[in-house]
Structure 1
């Protein structure tokens, strides 16, 4: 680029700059232009907002119209699907609580069913509130048909019609008909009243059988320290009208049809029961238990019952629920009408009558002694004093056998072992002449066995012992562990129960004393070892049982040992032998039993001789 071109560009730039400076707007003109631009922007913003608001209003109107349309469609669909029960098909669950000094009962509006029951005077083994029913894990109600559809009251939402004091009514209105569930919980009572009312429901709520099949399912969790032990004393119990109480156990899965009238059905664990009672009996039913696969699981069982009551559509059906302890005192007010004391299992037949007497003595001691370990001690002493004549007779009979042992051995030396029948006849002849009954030592002991068996049923069923501590045992109704093992021994467990160990030791000592009294050359090989096996078996068998039972057996055996040693000091064996030898000189009259026994032995001997000749 040459010089003239550069000069021209510079002059043009100067001229343009000069004209721009001359024509530059003033500050007032700039401000006016800015105000104009701001006004235009504001107008545009207002117009945009107005358009957006108009669009939003139109969208809301469209949405509301569609919602109203959908709501009417949904309402129509619900009406078509659920009929007169459309309003009860959906809802929000709420609760009504009925409470007295013993029981706190929570009732859900969903199904108008008992949701949970807490017993105020009791706790679980670990100090938690004792709840018999646990929320949604329970089911209660009945099936019915309406508008070709099956319903279950457990799934319907009831309205709370009224609550007054310890009473509550729950209702479902269906056109001209009405279904009402009513509950009442009287003061100072474990028994709640329950009523089902159906007004004009015959054409609205129908059933296939003409009866209401009331379904009750309940999950029962362990309340005690040892679930497996608790499960052995749990089950579903039922009382036939005018008949006895029967049950199915919780240790296995079982079911049973109830084809005749039933007064009540109970879901029972070791110390507590939930009982459903019909004022006018259930016409039939079916009960079942479902046991857990893992015996160490905290689940005791899943219990279920289906019971039937007559239904016409205009009914007033009265029932009761008992939620409480398996306690003779607590069950006494209801026993005359319902035989609820049968829930306390005290053994079969005459064992139950023995335990009924033991319970009365137990409650007598309760009146002035608060320590249940002392009560068991006094009870044991009383029983042993009552049985002392049998113990004395048993010892004397055994002592007679002992002092005759040299003469029996003399018979065995004279008669070869091959002639066992002759040996036996000679021995029996000696006993008969001396006036000794070979069963005399066993019969008194056999007469004491029912007491031992009765105690075996009494202690695990005694709710009085539940949670009661004595010495190292924290709970006399459960095992008294003094040492937890790092492993589990089959049939024994993973702990050491001291009362059980003491019981086994005292039984070994008592067995040794008996062996010294009764040993003879006729004793079967291995019998001595077998006698010592029983205490060892007790050690395994009772390690997981109630410590109160092991404590009783321990004290009982200890007292028996003391009685035996005491009697030994007063029984002169030399004088006894002299008396027996004197008896041998007297004429002996055979009893019919002895005559029959000798005849049988003679026939067996003759049969043996004939067999050898052939």
Structure 2
């Protein structure tokens, strides 16, 4: 890469980044576009929006809707009137509030956890959250979300191994009704939920299946709303054990009719609300949207799920409101642990079968998690030390060959790069040096480095754990709060990210000294750490802490290896290799192909002027 190429690529990168930032739509423009999309969808459905109510209403309405006396005479008409009351179902882990309006779960609190600002951890709360279904009863259309149920009991607290239930009843008559039955054991994160219809065969048609409408707006629980939104999505797992998700990076809608969903999860960064049907949902319609002007709710998650009636005339389901901790989810079964993103392809297996077991082993010592990350880094560096040694040794050989390469360059000239590379390859072959020897060990280490990039941000164990000045290793440490947003950097500066960047720049400097690289390539390595400063400034301090430690231990390894490697001995060995007969030297298949390719290119270049004549 010459100076002009490097300068051009660098300017293009700046132009693209600047264009993305300058041309991004404002919050008002995004809201306007969503409103237009909503109106278009209404038109396609043949619905004319009321101009007075077309504007999005974000207020929570607690007053009962108005209805006339004729509505009271329709089937289930008496359930239109009522006052909202909450019933609490509680165990060691959960505090679940049920609302008689809709008979649904009104809020869920995980009792053993707190938000980033030490408040009760409530996954969702309020009337914006819905759960129910619509059915036809005579000429009336009944939506259970709008109806008032009758609870079977007041507040219940379950302890030990006991199990208690509360039912919410939607009555048509004394012998005809729909029950929502909630059950809870003394501990755990499972809330049993069963829908049961009694005596309504002549009132409600088509009871063979129902379509549940489940909507929620997860609340902001962590320090970084950006990471919260990045990790909040809808995940689903079908009866064929295939896992997928939508809405992680952008708003999305998906219709699924060819597969049965076993469970659907409204997943947040460290916690999830999951709905399980052992018989499966025959149809699913999923939707994720983001209101960026809302700074308390992360996203808006919706799922319409079609459920078949079981043999005993019920619709059995289970809710799970749990932390996204691998051990807890794996113990529940049903593939719940797939909610945790351990990376793609080989990265997933590295994290699952290597990193996680080592991390779990280290946690048994009850050390501070900062020390556990330190120990994990030491173990990783020791395992990779043979590759680090080979990389250093290869770069040292290239450095020793540098004077001879400069002589070849002066002799051949820079105007014939094909011939120059051909001569370099001859020199490498004679000296017994692999020019890629310094790169390959680093390439082999890259999957592990990337695996940790996925491992630490989603690691529940780091949540709320402090170390040194870092109050929470699962989020960024805001060493400096700007009070305003700086493009590329954000509204703060993370000290650990800054230290990681400085250590990477120093590492790049010493690495250039070892390899003897010159020219424009000498400066390319300094660009990546600067990019990482902006990219990782909002990422967990635990991740930046690991990268910082990795750099420090690499310095130490290289210092020790430097004491073991003598440039004079390397030079002498290279000279001995040159004296060996050609047929006794190791021939690399890759090197032979490269040499043949260079030879063909050189012949073509020499023959080109003659062909023109």
TM-score (structure 1 length as normaliser): 0.83
| Superposition deviation, residue 244 in structure 1 | 2.2
Give the match for residue 537 of structure 1: 531
Q: CA RMSD in A?
A: 2.0
| Superposition deviation, residue 369 in structure 1 | 2.6
Is 2:318 the partner of 1:324? no
- 5+ unaligned residues in a row in structure 1: which ranges? 1-73
Aligned ranges 1:465-544 → 2 under 5 Å: 465-520=462-517, 523=518, 525-544=519-538
Give the match for residue 223 of structure 1: 221
Give the match for residue 378 of structure 1: 375
Give the match for residue 282 of structure 1: 281
Give the match for residue 133 of structure 2: 142
Given candidates 344, 364, 375, the residue that maps to 1:348 is 344
Give the match for residue 552 of structure 1: 546
C-alpha offsets along residues 282-330 of structure 1, whole Å, 9 cap, x if unaligned?
1111111011234x83321000000101249972111110101000122
Q: Which structure has the highest helix share of the two? A: 1
Distance of 2:306 and 2:242 partners within structure 1: 20
Is 2:455 the partner of 1:461? no
Give the match for residue 121 of structure 1: 112
Is the contact between residue 202 and residue 313 of structure 1 (CA under 8 Å) also seen in structure 2? no
Give the match for residue 167 of structure 1: 165
Moved more, 412-421 or 308-317: 308-317
Given candidates 565, 573, 582, the residue that maps to 1:579 is 573
Distance of 1:130 and 1:499 partners within structure 2: 27
C-alpha offsets along residues 159-181 of structure 1, whole Å, 9 cap, x if unaligned?
22357753111222324532111
Distance of 1:206 and 1:344 partners within structure 2: 41
| Superposition deviation, residue 251 in structure 1 | 4.0
Give the match for residue 402 of structure 2: 405
Is the contact between residue 425 and residue 591 of structure 2 (CA under 8 Å) also seen in structure 1? no
Give the match for residue 605 of structure 2: 608
The secondary structure found in structure 1 opposite 2:117 is: coil
Is the contact between residue 241 and residue 335 of structure 2 (CA under 8 Å) also seen in structure 1? no
Q: How many residues align?
A: 532
- 5+ unaligned residues in a row in structure 2: which ranges? 1-66, 159-163
The secondary structure found in structure 1 opposite 2:77 is: helix
C-alpha offsets along residues 531-569 of structure 1, whole Å, 9 cap, x if unaligned?
111111111111111000000000110110111111111
Give the match for residue 568 of structure 1: 562
C-alpha offsets along residues 325-380 of structure 1, whole Å, 9 cap, x if unaligned?
00012213212xx1010111111111111112212211211111331111111111
Is the contact between residue 141 and residue 154 of structure 1 (CA under 8 Å) also seen in structure 2? yes
Distance of 1:251 and 1:122 partners within structure 2: 27
Distance of 1:572 and 1:217 partners within structure 2: 67
| Superposition deviation, residue 608 in structure 1 | 2.2
Give the match for residue 429 of structure 1: 426
| Superposition deviation, residue 124 in structure 1 | 0.5
Is 2:70 the partner of 1:77? yes
Give the match for residue 273 of structure 1: 272
The secondary structure found in structure 1 opposite 2:561 is: helix
Q: Specify whether residues 428 and 79 from structure 1 end up closer, same or farther in structure 2 by C-alpha distance, changes over 3 A only.
A: same
| Superposition deviation, residue 437 in structure 1 | 0.9
Give the match for residue 246 of structure 2: 248
Q: Specify whether residues 454 and 75 from structure 1 end up closer, same or farther in structure 2 by C-alpha distance, changes over 3 A only.
A: closer
Is the contact between residue 142 and residue 215 of structure 1 (CA under 8 Å) also seen in structure 2? yes
Is the contact between residue 199 and residue 313 of structure 1 (CA under 8 Å) also seen in structure 2? no
